[in-house]
């Protein structure tokens, strides 16, 4: 088998892609539109198939040449503007695929914005000739890189594991962009091949969401090397997390804060943070028979008729949370519960202290009263001894 020659020509032909007709003998599979960055390169994935015509059929054993034709109405005025192996390369395009295997993949290097145009692929396999007039490729060379894309997989709510990724188009996989973001330092950049054989660079992070992540700004930057790595062009994207969570930090307050008396007016208020916002606030009063619902709404106002313990419950579609208690005590009213226990403990302490002092005093006095008797007995014993001495 003869080795297929890969020759790239860039021809300017007036209205070449307009000659699309049913008897087309070359079909090219490549993206219809591609964007590239000036100063960088463009990897063009390309495969083709052929249909025989009056000029013969494609024979992979014969020398094969690939040609990219630029549709330009001014070709007749500039016939030397051709890029091939035996002429000056005006357009730095090189077929890297094996044409004998129907692979016309091409590398377009050192791009400038003026290379933006519509390109048609042509096969020369004499006597077979074929132009993919129905499969034009639109190439757009831009001076600024596209912004990266931030994606979130999974439900964005608390206690759920999600994977957040940032990806950037990689038209030149030989010099891919470097991705960084605010979620982590030095993330691993992974280059992936897409279904259409183009490439994408991606970074990702998996973690469990909490209410603390709500409102978090994630910024991802893509830095593209250009001019053979001597310069860089950067684009970035920012996305704010909107994390759903049940009510948190539910608290209550009372106004006035003290000096409550019978028939006075008091206002209880409840607050909580939640996403989506709290849908209902419910007020309860504790009793010997359990909690009794007394009101609905963020605020609860009433005329005081007696003391009591109140609390509120904040609810949204993801759950609820109960506040701490509010103790409402009327001035001059007997306090019960923890206050009585404190008083009782103090009284018992005083009683025990007094009892201890009395017992100690009695013990001390009883001991002091028995001491003179002992001294008298010792004195009598001494006198008796003295009397027994001879004269």
Q: What is the pLDDT along the chain (391 residues), one digit of tens a residue?
A: 333 444 444 444 444 444 565 446 889 999 999 999 999 999 999 999 988 666 678 888 999 888 888 864 333 444 433 343 334 456 788 999 999 999 999 999 999 999 999 999 988 888 888 888 889 999 999 999 999 999 999 889 999 999 999 999 999 999 999 999 999 999 999 999 999 999 999 999 999 999 999 999 999 999 999 998 899 999 999 999 999 999 999 999 998 887 778 888 999 999 999 999 999 999 999 998 899 999 999 999 998 888 899 999 999 999 999 999 999 888 665 544 444 556 677 788 888 887 888 887 777 777 666 555 444 444 444 444 444 344 4
Domain identity same for 190 and 204: yes
Residue 219, both tokens? 């910024």
pLDDT tens digits, one per residue of 70-118: 864 333 444 433 343 334 456 788 999 999 999 999 999 999 999 999 9
Residue 135 φ/ψ, nearest 5 degrees: -125, 65
Residue 364 domain flag: no
Residue 354 domain flag: no
Whose CA is closest to 126, among 67, 69, 70? Answer: 67
Domain identity same for 45 and 97: yes
Helices H, strands E: what count in the chain?
A: 1, 26
Q: Which of 275, 293, 328 is the last residue of a domain?
A: 328
Domain identity same for 185 and 294: no
Place of tokens 């997390």: 241
Residue 371 domain flag: no
Domain identity same for 235 and 164: yes
Contact 125, 62 (CB under 8 A): yes
Separation in Å, CA 223 to CA 36, 184, 217: 14, 16, 20
Domain identity same for 227 and 214: yes
Domain identity same for 192 and 309: no
Residue 367 domain flag: no
Residue 230, both tokens? 């001597």
CA angle (49, 51, 52) in 5-degree steps: 140
Domain identity same for 70 and 94: yes
Domain identity same for 206 and 252: no
Residue 255 domain flag: yes
Q: Which of 217, 240, 263 is the last residue of a domain?
A: 240
Residue 198 domain flag: yes
Number of structural domains (the chain) is 3
Residue 380 domain flag: no
Q: What is the CATH number of the domain that holds 318?
A: 2.60.40.10
Domain identity same for 275 and 317: yes
List beta partners, residue 262. none
Cα distance between the two ends of the chain: 161
| CB burial of residue 61 (10 Å; 0-12, 13-18, 19+) | exposed
Q: Which of 189, 218, 240 is the last residue of a domain?
A: 240
Give CA–CA dist 358/360, Å, rounded.
5
Domain identity same for 88 and 164: no
Contact 246, 318 (CB under 8 A): yes
Give CA–CA dist 119/79, Å, rounded.
17
Neighbours of 117 (CB within 10 A): 18
Place of tokens 């009892």: 355
Q: Which domain holds residue 293?
A: 245-328
Domain identity same for 126 and 154: no
Domain identity same for 275 and 162: no
Neighbours of 171 (CB within 10 A): 25
Residue 337 domain flag: no
């Amino acid at each position: 088998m003869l080795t297929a020659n890969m020759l790239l020509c860039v021809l300017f032909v007036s209205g070449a892609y307009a000659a699309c007709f049913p008897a087309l003998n070359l079909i090219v599979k490549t993206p219809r539109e591609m964007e590239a960055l000036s100063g960088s390169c463009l990897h063009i994935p390309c495969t083709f198939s052929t249909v025989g015509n009056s000029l013969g059929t494609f024979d992979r054993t014969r020398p094969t040449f690939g040609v990219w034709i630029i549709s330009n109405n001014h070709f007749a005025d500039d016939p030397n503007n051709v890029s091939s192996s035996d002429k000056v390369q005006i357009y730095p395009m090189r077929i890297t695929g094996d044409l004998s295997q129907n692979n016309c993949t091409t590398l377009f290097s050192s791009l400038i914005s003026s290379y933006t145009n519509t390109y048609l692929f042509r096969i020369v396999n004499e006597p077979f000739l074929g132009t993919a007039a129905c499969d034009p490729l639109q190439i757009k060379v831009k001076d600024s890189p596209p912004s990266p894309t931030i994606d979130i997989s999974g439900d964005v709510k608390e206690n759920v594991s999600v994977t957040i990724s940032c990806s950037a188009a990689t038209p030149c996989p030989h010099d891919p962009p470097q991705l960084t973001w605010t979620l982590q330092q030095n993330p691993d950049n992974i280059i992936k091949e897409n279904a259409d054989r183009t490439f994408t660079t991606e970074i990702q992070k998996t973690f469990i969401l909490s209410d603390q992540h709500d409102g978090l700004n994630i910024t991802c930057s893509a830095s593209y090397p250009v001019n053979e790595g001597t310069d860089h062009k950067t684009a970035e994207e920012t996305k704010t997390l909107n994390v759903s969570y049940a009510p948190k930090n539910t608290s209550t307050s009372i106004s006035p804060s003290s000096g409550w008396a019978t028939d006075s007016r008091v206002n209880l208020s409840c607050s909580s943070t939640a996403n989506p916002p709290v849908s209902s606030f419910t007020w309860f009063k504790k009793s010997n028979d359990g909690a009794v619902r007394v009101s609905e709404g963020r605020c609860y106002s009433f005329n005081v008729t007696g003391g009591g313990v109140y609390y509120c419950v904040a609810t949204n579609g993801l759950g609820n949370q109960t506040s701490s208690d509010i103790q409402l005590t009327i001035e001059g009213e007997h306090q019960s519960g923890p206050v009585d226990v404190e008083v009782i403990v103090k009284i018992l302490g005083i009683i025990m202290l007094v009892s201890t002092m009395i017992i100690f005093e009695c013990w001390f006095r009883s001991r002091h009263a028995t001491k003179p008797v002992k001294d008298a007995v010792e004195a009598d014993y001494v006198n008796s001894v003295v009397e027994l001495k001879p004269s």
